[in-house]
Every structure is written in C-alpha cells, then in structure tokens.
Amino acid sequence: MNFTYNGSELNQKTVLGHPSGLYILFFTEMWERFSYYGMRAILVLFLVSSFNDGGWGWERSEALALYGIYTGLVYITPIFGGLIADKFLGYRNAVILGAFVMTLGHASMAFEVFNDLFLYLGLIFVIIGNGFFKPNISSIVGQLYKTEGQDKDAGYTIFYMGINSGAFLGILLCGYIGENIGWHYGFGLAGVFMFLGMLQFYYAQKIFGNIGVFENDIYSEKQIDKTSNTNKKISSKIIYDRLSVIVIFSLCVIFFWWAFEQAGGSMTIFASDYTNRLLDGSGALVFKIFNSLITIVPMIIISYIIYLLCLNVFSVYKISSIFLISSFLVIWLIIIWMLAREFNNPSTEVPASWYGILNSFYIIVFAPLISKIWQSKYNVSGPYKFGFGLISLAIGFAVLAYGSYNIQLGAKTASVSMLFLILAYFFHTIGELCISPVGLSYVSKLAPKNLVGLMFGVWFVANFIANTAAGFTGSYIDPIVENYGMSFFFLIFTIIPIAVGIIMLLANNKIVRMMHGVK
C-alpha cells in the first residue's frame, strides 16, 4: 500500500485534510498547555495577593522575577530533553515521561497550602517534565509528513491550534477557579488534565507506527518511508547554511517572545491594577454574553474535531478515545457551572487572568484561516512571516502605549478601558501565528533528521533567553512607571520588535538563499 503520510495504516485516514495522528498529538499537547498556561495564569496573581486572600503577599518585582526564572528554565530544559530522546529514549517515551513528571509537579503545587516548599518543588518538576515533553512532541509532528513544503507548515499551524486550545481552557478555568475558589484548586486542576492527556497519548501511540520509537540505529531509514524527501543526501555546506538559518530565526524569536511574554507578567499586572474590570447593569450582561460565546464556540469547534477523530480511531484505540471524550465531558460540566454562577451574580468583576484567554481565543479562530493562507498562492517566505509577525506584535504594544498615555507618573492603579487589552492581544496573536508555528515547521524542515530533537531544543533555548529577559524587564515596571510613565514602558516593546521586523524583511533574499530550496 502506498502511504500518503508516515506512520501506521490508520494514520492515513485524515481529519480536515491532515493525518489522524496529528490530532492525537493535537489533544496531547492541548492538555499539556492546559496545565502549563492554567498554572501560569495565576502564578503571579497568587504571589502578589495578600495573605488574607490566600496569596504570599510578594512585591511585584519579586513575583515577576520568579516568573521570569521559571518561564525561562521551562525553555532551557528542552535542549537536554531533545538530546536524551535523540540518543537514548526516543520521542514517544520522552513525551510520556515528561507528561508524568509534569503531573507530579502540578499535584505538588496544589499542596502549597500545607507547606511553601511544595510550590517550589512543583515548579522544579514542571520545568524538568517540560524538557522531555516539549521538543519531542514537536519532532513527532514533523515526521508525520513526507514532504517538506506547505502541508507541513499547515500541519504545524493546526497543531498550534491545539496548543492554544489548551491554553484557552487552562487560563479560563484554572484562572477562574484560582481567583474565585482557591489558588491551590487552580493549581490542582491543571495537573488532573495533564495526567489524562498522558493516558490519551499512551494508549494511542501505535498510530505513529515506528515514528518516535528508539532503536540502536536511531530513526533509521526503515522507520520513515523512503519516499520522504528527508532522506536525500545533502552536502555539509547546505547543512551548515540551513542550521545557520535556524540560528537566525532563533535569534529573531528572542525579541518576539521577550515582548510577547509580558502577557503573563507586566500585562497581567496592567490588567489587574490599571484596567477597569468592574462591570454592572447592561455592561455586566454584555460581558457575560460575550464571555459565554467565546467560551462555548471554541468548545463546539474542538468537540467537533474530537467527533471526527473518533470516527477514524475509536474502533482501534477505544481506551484512548474514552479518556479524551470523558475529559471533555468534565470540561463541559465545569464550563456550564462557571457560566451559570456568573449569570446569577448581578455585577461582574472581570478576572485579571481572563484577558489571557483572548490570545488563545484569537488563535482558535484565526489559525485555520492562516493555515489555509500558507497552503495557497498567497504563501510568503519564512523571513517575511517573521518580519510581519514582529511588526504586528509591535502594533499591539503601540495600542497599549496609547491607551495608557494618561496614566500619571508613579500611579499604582488606574481605570483604562479593557478595549485596549482586547485590541493588543489581537495584534499579538496575529504576530504569533506568523512566527511560532512557522518556526516549529522550519526547524523540522531545515534540521538534519538525526538532530531534529536537539535543534528543537536549541529553538527552545531562544525561548529561555526571551522569557528570562521578559521577567527581568517586567520586574522594572514600577520604577519605569514612576519615572517615565506606563506609556513609555510599553513603547520599549514597540520600538525594538518593529526594528527587528524591518531587518528581517530587508534580509529576506539572503536568508532564502541559505535555505537551499526549503520553503
């Protein structure tokens, strides 16, 4: 039988034009991102909350510094996880191990109410587990496809939709429960679904055939169909040039994520202390309806994808399908409870963590559209995508700079319209869709197959640098606001990304030549 995709015979059945195995990875990654972003959404808020509110009462600078260290280390461990998977474990075992260790981490954080050490231990477990999970699940996605062109870019964009479906649900539910019920309940909920995601992957992994299985002749040609373009002999000069492009793209994303990751730090502080979140009367009703729509519509979309996937795989992978279906039934019940609870309140205070779901909501809505553009005649080169992404990110921060123009020097609170954050997250999301999933695809296409896991690790090292720098820069929000104003603070993240974006546009032709035909 002539297979269209790598993997098992069942993997040749498609869902929305992509192999079924992609959606096994889609939902596994979705639950991992649910746990990560759900916990991240409330970490800073928990740390700065008073003791009376169940928090630790830290200063903003201290909370943002820990946030930066944590989110930075989350992206440094993948270089070791990728290397270990390449040489010893294989991608699939590494994914399962990473998911289990992260489950332990989130469970530990839920026990912080008994002892502070549980929080730090939990963070360490999540950092280690992510190192095994993150680069290797991305590597499996890349090996599903035989070609190195537009289909793989589109596949990574769909995979990225899964990432942000999890982020959307995690921020929404862990954020709501953490802020309204109890911080440790929010941390614990994140771990429950990480565990269920691990089981769903474990019981369906045979759909990938030999992809990601470690052998002594690791990832040998017999494991990946010989018709795949990835097995062609290429010169050391071409390999060097392509690895150089990965480095260039990695340097580029440092500036992108440095600014973008203000979302979990300084932008969360801005949402909490400088944005008007109190609504009543018709304003509260409009928000409740809007919140219900942006919650239920993505859930319907994701549920439909589950339905299509189960049509293909349920007969063979019943246990995995049951874990997936039951997980979503629980999510539906929690969402119905949350929305009913809010509609019974006459007034509404929008949770500060709520604004974080906008990024994920926009991705769920626009990822299919962007995926289609990358598969059409309007597809542009990688450097152009990176340049446009950085410029779009800068526009989002320009919106925030304009919205905070009237905040006085040194102000600790303000009541800026939430519309500015809503617009900013839109532009940030469009920028993210131009860079992050495309970057994952290019690492997969440009790296030699025996170094894919390692190069994904290098890619995430750029994220480590960016996240650490983001937390460090964000920790200076108070002195910058006191001396120069909030508007100036956001202008920093406007000017630098737009400059790097222009450089990428100007360097397009040179970088494309160094890619030697990889599109």
Kindly report the CATH number assigned to the domain that includes residue 59.
1.20.1250.20
- Tell me, yes or no, whether 220 lies in a domain: no
The model carries a pTM of 0.78
Whether the pLDDT of residue 220 is over 80: the answer is no
Provide the 10 A C-beta neighbour count for residue 187. Answer: 30
* Per-chain mean pLDDT for the chain: 86
pLDDT at 518 over 90: no
In a domain? residue 215: no
Does residue 250 carry a pLDDT above 60? yes
pLDDT at 233: 67
Tally of domains in the chain: 1
Q: Which residue has the higher pLDDT, 265 or 511?
A: 511
Q: How confident is the model at residue 1 (pLDDT cuts 50, 70, 90)?
A: low
| CA dist., res. 50 & res. 225, Å (int) | 58
Task: For residue range 97-137, list pLDDT tens digits in order.
Answer: 999 999 999 999 989 888 889 999 999 999 999 989 988 88
Residue 320 has what pLDDT? Answer: 94
Number of H helices, E strands in the chain: 18, 4
Specify if 11 maps to a domain: no
Domain containing residue 281: 17-210+234-514
Per the model's pLDDT, the better-predicted residue between 64 and 400 turns out to be 400
d(C-alpha 112, C-alpha 134), whole Å? 25
Answer whether 335's CB lies under 8 Å from 173's CB. Answer: yes
The answer to whether residue 163 is domain-embedded is yes
Residue 219: which pLDDT band, with cuts at 50, 70 and 90? very low
Do the domain assignments include residue 38? yes
Q: What integer pLDDT is reported at residue 511 of this predicted model?
A: 93
- Is 372 a residue whose pLDDT tops 90? no
Identify the pLDDT of residue 200.
Answer: 93
357 is a domain residue: yes
The pLDDT, as a whole number, for residue 396 is: 96
Q: Is 12 exposed, middle or buried (0-12, 13-18, 19+ CB in 10 A)?
A: middle
Question: Would residue 54 be called left, alpha or beta, if left means φ above 0 and alpha means ψ between -120 and 50 degrees?
Answer: left
Asked, for residue 370, whether it belongs to a domain, the answer is: yes
Q: Is there a domain that residue 12 lies in?
A: no
**328-340 as b/e, with b when 16 or more CB fall inside 10 Å?**
beebeebbeebee
